[in-house]
Amino acid sequence: MIFGISILRAGAAGGSLHAVAGWLIICWAIADLLMNCAYSLQDLLHLPVRFECCTLAQIGRFFSRPMVFLALDTLLSFSIICLMLWSGWIATLSPYELVLWYIATTLNLVSLSVVSLYNEMRKV
């Protein structure tokens, strides 16, 4: 989501294409967040899961390969984090955006580890 905000800010100087890309990324991030929360809630309540935890995994479900698409989602997410770090965009974030960035990346990295551990514990 912070990546989308950064593109929006670049869009103010670089044209409407950046702004559209920024809004698309923000909408995608919000959809993934809502899907992830609903998926987790269904799992915690032991309800049958009706959809995947993110938009790419949901697309993968149509091809009977949700885990492959979830892995692509993770790769994309980590690639965005690397892009932000190595491009220097982090230095251009406002203090408010920086706090959002720290929260988003921390939740992203920690949640991946927790989900991996949870899935392995369920297998045992």
- Domain coordinates in residue numbering, the chain: 2-123
Cα separation, 98 vs 16, in Å, equals 24
Measured in whole angstroms, how far is the alpha carbon of residue 42 from the centre of its chain?
A: 19
Sign of CA dihedral 44, 57, 81, 95: negative
Report the pLDDT averaged over residues 91-116.
Answer: 85
pLDDT 10s digits, 59-101: 999 999 998 998 998 899 889 888 888 998 888 888 988 898 8
Mean pLDDT of the chain: 83
Q: Say what the pLDDT of residue 15 is.
A: 67
pLDDT at 47 over 60: yes
Dist. CA 84–CA 73, nearest whole Å: 17
- Other Cβ atoms less than 10 A from the Cβ of 1: the count is 19
| Average pLDDT score over residue span 53-57 | 90
Q: Is the pTM of this model over 0.85?
A: no
pLDDT over 70 at 10, yes or no: no
